[in-house]
Amino acid sequence: MTRQNILDLYFMDARSKLIDIAAFLDRVDRGEGEPDFRLAAFRKALEELQRGEPVRARRVLLSLSDPTTEPIAKAPGKGAVGAWPGQEAH
Amino acid sequence: MRYIEPHGHMVSRTTDDYEAMITAGCRAVCEPAFWAGYDRSGPQGFYDYFCQLTDYEPKRAAKFGLPHFTWLCINPKESEDVQLAQEVIALIPQFLDRPNVLGIGEIGLNKNTRNELKVLEQHIDLAARHEQLILVHTPHLEDKFKGTRLILDALLADSRIKPDRCIIDHVEEHTIQMVLDAGFWAGITLYPESKTTPPRAIDMFEVYGGQRVWLNSACDWGRSDPLAVPKTAIEMRRRGHSEETIDRLVFQNPIRFLGQNPRFDVR
């Protein structure tokens, strides 16, 4: 597909999601109290969007991922929250 | 359009979903064993579940003209209790001869713990001893990258396991390359929030190729869409992919992998 085709197909959807992210960050700023590690992880992942190579999705996913390699001793629960809390959380 | 749903947890779906799938062109559905949303109280609960997957559910699907196949295991979400897992694994061989059983799955990891890894290795051994296909669940969100690496290492460490008889499911942009490079099949799961959207799934198909890739909805009791595969096929049309290319991805590829078990006789 040409870049023009891609814009025709996906620009409005991407625009909508971009504004959703902006509104989400505004909402967090207006909130009270201290945010947990997820906000910092989210902001760090956003930096990956500025890179010039077409591997942004991969880099955003890696940015939010546990980078360690050894299995942990015990499950802290069953669920995942979407961002790695850091080594000290285990 | 014709397609295979290679990963759907139909016991938690309605008969309306069966009707919608068959109307959309579904030719077969495959149901891996999974977590019920709560921990079962003991091995008997799994015995009953395996009976449901191998007896009742195929009959329910047959009422809609849809062939139903299944995979058996204790899901990684319940693998932290190693003793329970061993008791459940011991139940599985008596079900392997049932006519709709395709292999061992969905095994894998959830939070990447030592106990989960131990149970994964026991499942891999079970599959190897009984020459079964393997369907692997990779962890969610922040745990996926690490878990996928641990799973690939465990599979590759067992010389009896042939990568082209294993599918690593729920790949995303940060895991698909390592899965394909190691010779495994890759499953792309289409979810409204987590995992992958149709546009991203097609991106991966275009970037990494579709030789050893399938699409699935993994529809269950959570937010999921049993029609995610045909909807993605429609998205592929919008991008200009040919009907032959779409058919290869959503129909022929699942048959190529699942057909390694002669019980999967969908043509």
Q: How many CB atoms lie within 10 A of CB B2?
A: 16
Give domain status of residue B266, yes or no: no
Among chain A residues, the shortest Cα distance to B112 is held by A71
Domain that holds residue B73: 3-258
Q: Do B113 and A78 touch (CB under 8 A)?
A: no
- Measuring CA to CA, which residue among B5, B3, B1 is closest to residue B216? B5
Give domain status of residue B263, yes or no: no
Give domain status of residue B265, yes or no: no
Domain assignments of chain A as residue spans, ordered by start: 1-31, 34-62
- Residue B207 tokens read as 């970037």
pLDDT along chain B (267 residues), means of 10: 98 98 98 95 97 98 97 96 97 98 98 98 98 98 98 98 98 98 98 92 97 97 96 98 98 98 95
What CATH number does residue B66 fall under? 3.20.20.140
Q: Token pair 């292999």 is at which residue?
A: B103
Give domain status of residue B184, yes or no: yes
Look at chain B and report how many structural domains it folds into: 1
- Residue B109 tokens read as 């990891």
The distance of B125 to chain A (nearest Cα, Å) reads 20
| Option in B77, B112, B174 nearest A58 (CB) | B174
The distance of A29 to chain B (nearest Cα, Å) reads 23
* Mean pLDDT score, A8-20: 98
Give domain status of residue B254, yes or no: yes
Cross-strand partners of B186: B168, B213
Model confidence at A52: pLDDT above 90: no
